[in-house]
Structure 1
Amino acid sequence: MTDAGILPEDKPIDALVSASAPDLLSKFDGLIAERQALLDTGVRDPFAIVMEKVLSPTEAIINGKPTILLGTYNYMGMTFDPDVVAAGKKALDDFGAGTTGSRVLNGTYHPHKDCEDALKEFYGTDHAIVFSTGYQANLGMISTIAGKGDYIILDADSHASIYDGCWLGNAEIVRFRHNSVEDLDKRLGRLPKGAGKLVVLEGVYSMFGDIAPLPEMVAVAKKHGAMILCDEAHGMGFFGEHGRGVYEQMGVEQDIDFVVGTFSKSVGTVGGFCVSNHPKFEVLRLVCRPYVFTASLPPSVVATAATSIRKLMHAGEKREHLWKNSRKLHQGLRDLGFKLGTEEAQSAIIAVILPDQEQAVGMWQSLLELGLYVNMARPPATPAGTYLLRCSLCAEHRDEQVDQIIGMFAAAGHSVGCIPA
């Protein structure tokens, strides 16, 4: 006889587990088999690339050879900015490697407040809050603002962090067709009068690089009495006069209640944030679970972010160069005969759409062998049946690098048969 909860010493654990006990990972067997079949063809794993050395915002050593980077989201090239790197080194010396605590306990250091001050300066808002990642910023803000009994109305193509924020907060989720103002209006009109409503939009949608029709959507949301949260993760830095994002460029700054963003794109480090003018905003520091119950960013990280943000306020020339790069690459790929996600360059993201996984992987591998790294995307990150190579340009890409990239796409496309010879 044994005490409750104590295993008999003479029986191994596996002998006590029923032979019919389900393997909880068996639901992924199809994906495991598909991935293995792909690797058995001799291609490299597109989702396991290791950069042995990063030489600059636009170049790295991959597989022992110099490679142009066209899939990093390092839009403004701030990762190697001397002032940004120096700020991080100084904060590491002054404050150590980490805080080992939450922001509401021992995890708020001077660099955290300075970073929030930099955000308020950059966005011209009264309030700013910094999260440990951009994912947590959406998770925290959306789940805290809208809870049980409220409604969240979001674009069907919204980022995973937006969907997860909806589920964490237990609000009712209402999807509308991607970028459809008409469908947004129709679905808002069906909701109960007087119910709490939050419309979540993205300035730039990261898979195809298309932008939202924010003025029309904001007008519809306001007509139905909804609050608005706009994710500017892929718009911060190079959209708008001050680089605040698509919502600034389209003139709806005064109508957006909350703006969420990340430090892992144009800012060049890691972290997330939300800025707002809402008078009750500061209460979120006490009730937002992904803010309260996680360790704060290392001081060296927020110090680099603050320095980068302040430099982005005066980065007009870099913004112009990035837009020139984007238009040139988009036109060059269209001229070669590739199918792209947008008719014209709408952002720094250019999606090259392939008909199936075989051609997508073949193009991706061929480009890597030629010395170009891009992102390969497939379902469920993309719509069902959609395979693409996602290119993200950087303000530090030189003119001759963009010419090289177009040449590499031509060579790879011909070898794989994606474009006519």
Structure 2
Amino acid sequence: MTDTITATHTPPAGDLFSKFDDLIQTRETLLASGVEDPFNLVMEKVLSPTRAVCNGRETILLGTYNYMGMTFDPDVLEAGREALTEFGSGTTGSRVLNGTYQGHRECEDALKEFYGMDHAMVFSTGYQANLGIIATIAGKGDYVVLDIDSHASIYDGCAMGNAEIVPFRHNDIEAMEKRLRRIPEGAGKLVILEGVYSMLGDVAPLKEMVAIAKQYGAMVLVDEAHSMGFIGENGRGVCEEQGVIDDVDFIIGTFSKSVGTVGGFCVSNHPKFDIMRLVCRPYVFTASLPPSVVATAATSIRKLMHGANKRAHLWENSRTLHKGLTDLGFELGTKEPQSAIVAVIMPDLERGAMMWEALLKEGLYVNLARPPATPAGMTLLRCSLCAEHSAEEVQTVLSMFERAGKAVGII
């Protein structure tokens, strides 16, 4: 019989993980308080766009970005099954090699029809769409003027392209113009905006911002990840809602929100856009989406064109939840509902985590968002509504928030 020796490993000098020590300590402190890990929830079974089994309990889903509830649409599922049977489980190659199947072209055709644009390019994720497009068109010596609350993928695209990053205060039209005014004459300029900002769910003043960008000769890219399918008469996003869809140069989006699957895209009317397929590294050097995924995406996109009734119901859900939480005494990220995201501001991370866990025990899942991802160091409980949430479910959600809020001492 041999003795079992448990070794304690001491990190070596120059440990590359030492930069994460503060975050590791914050996480350990949080878990030591007895709170369940809010960033490691397992869904044991997904029952519908609005329900799943978590910790053995049926739970209402209010943090999935499944805005239009397309994940269980019968036509979408059938399209995926047919493509899986006919074309197999994956492409095993890049789009520029063997990875372009008929389904990829059909998906891009659906996007062109949806937006009324000349060009569409599908990426393997929405993150890669931003990374690839931004890094390719804005390089060394160019300037990217962007909202300081821009998504991580936008910042990463700027870094990868090595462009000069010029941030401005969130949704501040005057601050954006000041930045543009200071850029050297003749330099390449790209203004990057988002239709809906994912943390607080607030909408950008695109009409004014796009007009100013054009006045200074800048190209404009708008990320519509959180507005596609829902905002605008035809679900084309804030660009459509504010009447600037024909004035922007690029619209970036994702399939992992309203479309209900995974992938990303860029649409554009620029006459030279097709060269991007040969020079955009995250497109050229990444395996393309599986045929079943692009089939579900194409089917979902075409159905979203006719989703007016769903959009109307989702707006009603958003207004009801926003008013109900305000009436209960919660502090929200926006004074009025602006999107399908309703952000509830927490006093701090510890009580935010306690509130998150209390809601989960009630049978409700929301997102716990913390710094540095959130603006102004806020801790948020981020609710994302779905067109498949019934009016009754929204009332149930409000009751859960009331009980949990009182139990934790937030209200």
Identify the TM-score tier after normalising by the shorter chain.
Answer: over 0.9
Aligned match for 1:42, one of 34, 40, 47: 34
Distance 2:52 2:320 in 1: 23
User: Which residue of 2 is the match for residue 117 of structure 1?
Assistant: 109
Aligned match for 2:281, one of 268, 275, 289: 289
Distance 2:376 2:184 in 1: 32
Q: What code does the residue aligned with 1:414 have?
A: K
What is the 5 A alignment of 1:40-119?
40-119=32-111
| In the alignment, structure 1 residue 28 sits paired with structure 2 residue 20 | yes
Aligned match for 1:325, one of 307, 310, 317: 317
User: Which residue of 2 is the match for residue 133 of structure 1?
Assistant: 125
User: Which residue of 2 is the match for residue 229 of structure 1?
Assistant: 221
CA RMSD, aligned part only?
1.0
User: Which residue of 1 is the match for residue 141 of structure 2?
Assistant: 149
Structure 2 length normalisation: TM-score? Answer: 0.97
Maintained 8 Å contact 1:356/1:385 = no
What is the 5 A alignment of 1:20-419?
21-419=13-411
Q: What code does the residue aligned with 2:373 have?
A: A
The secondary structure found in structure 2 opposite 1:97 is coil
Structure 1 residues 20 and 65: alpha-carbon distance in aligned structure 2, compared to 1, 3 A threshold:
closer
Distance 1:29 1:208 in 2: 28
Structure 1 length normalisation: TM-score? Answer: 0.95
**Higher CA-based Rg:** 1
Give % identity.
73
Distance 1:389 1:168 in 2: 31
The secondary structure found in structure 2 opposite 1:340 is coil
Distance 2:30 2:231 in 1: 39
Q: What code does the residue aligned with 1:93 have?
A: T
The secondary structure found in structure 1 opposite 2:23 is helix
Deviations 1:386-416 (A, max 9, x none): 1010000000000100000000000011111
Q: What code does the residue aligned with 2:15 have?
A: D
The secondary structure found in structure 2 opposite 1:254 is coil
Distance 1:379 1:267 in 2: 28
Q: What code does the residue aligned with 2:234 have?
A: H
Q: What code does the residue aligned with 2:151 have?
A: H
Number of corresponding residues? 402
Distance 2:230 2:93 in 1: 34
Deviations 1:230-261 (A, max 9, x none): 00000000111110000100000111000000
Q: What code does the residue aligned with 1:30 have?
A: D
Distance 1:350 1:383 in 2: 15
Distance 1:385 1:170 in 2: 27
Q: CA deviation at 1:19?
A: 9.1
Deviations 1:16-41 (A, max 9, x none): xx996411101111211211111111
Q: CA deviation at 1:385?
A: 2.9
**Structure 1 stretches lacking a partner, 5+ long:** 1-17
Runs of 4+ off more than 2 Å: 18-21
Q: What code does the residue aligned with 2:356 have?
A: W
